[in-house]
């Protein structure tokens, strides 16, 4: 009887071992298949285009000096009016022209003194700003700015604040096409990789769109804007 029980135990043990071995094989096979399925390739696609700026911001700065504060303000008003009339005569509208508060310096009130008496106690800088969607027309007026110098206006155009700025405001209009192009180029790169690795390109695992950047094309053409975006896409690979 004991021999029969021993035989049953042996058979049961062998059955358990065989079942565990089979289960282990199945789990190993499933793990291998899972890892194969998880093979991916991560690629980037670039879309870069050039557009003309559609807004120009043009600050025109001039300086005046005087020992009399009342005269100083009178000179500011005269200079501002001359610039405004010049711009209107060039075809710009009053809505495109604005004036800021003048920046006035009283040299006698400064905390430092280099020992040299200034010729004028008061100096002022005034800015007349053009904000216009008519970029080409405004750029044409810029070339005629020397006419203001002939009228006795001291222009101060060397500072960063007096440089024209150009904007591209139609980004939402071009976004869809550029995203589509960047995604298409990313897929082309992924397909080439899959072909070279003797694989097939599967579905997208994840995708992310980078930030759009807008910058002047170059220093000589700040009115030509370069718009770019990079899309990052991860694809599954299959044999």
pLDDT value of residue 65: 94
How many domains are contained in the chain? 3
pTM: 0.75
- Asked whether residue 144 falls in the same domain as residue 72, the answer is yes
Domain boundary among the residues 113, 143, 166 is at: 166
Q: Are residues 159 and 81 in the same domain?
A: yes
Lowest mean pLDDT, pick from 92-96, 157-161, 174-178: 157-161
Q: Which domain holds residue 6?
A: 1-38
State which of 166, 197, 231 marks the end of a domain.
166
Phi, psi of 169 (to 5 degrees): -105, 5
What pLDDT, on a 0 to 100 scale, did the predictor assign at position 120? 85
Q: Which pLDDT tens digit goes with each residue over 32-91?
A: 454 455 789 999 999 999 999 999 999 999 999 999 999 999 999 999 999 999 999 999
* Distance separating alpha carbons of residues 89 and 143, to the nearest angstrom: 14
Q: Are residues 49 and 80 in the same domain?
A: no
Beta pairing partners, 207: 233
Q: Are residues 118 and 70 in the same domain?
A: yes
- pLDDT score for 191: 93
Are residues 132 and 179 located together in one domain of the fold? no
Q: For 173-211, what is each residue's pLDDT tens digit?
A: 999 999 999 999 999 999 999 999 888 999 999 999 889
Residue 12 is predicted with a pLDDT of 57
% residues pLDDT > 90 (the chain): 62
pLDDT band at residue 30 under the 50/70/90 scheme:
very low
Q: Do 95 and 155 share a structural domain?
A: yes
Of the candidates 56, 80, 75, 52, the one whose C-alpha atom is nearest the C-alpha of residue 65 is 75
Q: From CA 203, how far away is CA 216, in angstroms rounded? A: 37
Whether 238 has a pLDDT exceeding 90, the answer reads: no
Question: Same domain, yes or no, for 172 and 144?
Answer: no
pLDDT of residue 101: 93
Cβ contacts of 147 within 8 Å, gap of 6 or more? 86
Mean pLDDT taken over the chain: 85
> DSSP letter at 119?
S
């Amino acid at each position: 009887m004991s021999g029969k029980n021993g035989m049953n135990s042996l058979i049961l043990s062998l059955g358990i071992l065989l079942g565990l071995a089979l289960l282990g094989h199945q789990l190993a096979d499933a793990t291998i298949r899972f890892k194969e399925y998880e093979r991916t390739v991560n690629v980037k696609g670039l879309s870069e285009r050039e557009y003309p700026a559609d807004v120009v911001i043009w600050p025109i700065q001039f300086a005046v000096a005087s020992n009399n504060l009342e005269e100083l303000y009178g000179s500011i008003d005269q200079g501002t009016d001359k610039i405004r009339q010049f711009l209107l005569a060039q075809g710009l509208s009053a809505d495109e022209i604005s004036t800021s508060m003048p920046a006035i310096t009283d040299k006698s009130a400064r905390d430092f003194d280099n020992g040299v008496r200034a010729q004028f106690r008061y100096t002022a800088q005034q800015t007349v700003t053009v904000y216009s969607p008519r970029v080409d027309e405004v750029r044409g007026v810029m070339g005629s700015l020397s006419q203001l110098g002939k009228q006795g206006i001291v222009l101060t155009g060397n500072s960063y604040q007096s440089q024209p700025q150009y904007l591209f405001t139609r980004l939402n209009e071009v976004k869809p096409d550029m995203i589509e192009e960047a995604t298409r180029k990313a897929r082309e790169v992924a397909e080439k990789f899959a072909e070279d690795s003797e694989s097939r390109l599967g579905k997208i695992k994840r995708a992310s769109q980078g930030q759009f950047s807008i910058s002047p094309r170059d220093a000589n053409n700040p009115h030509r804007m370069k718009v770019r975006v990079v899309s990052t896409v991860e694809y599954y690979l299959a044999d």
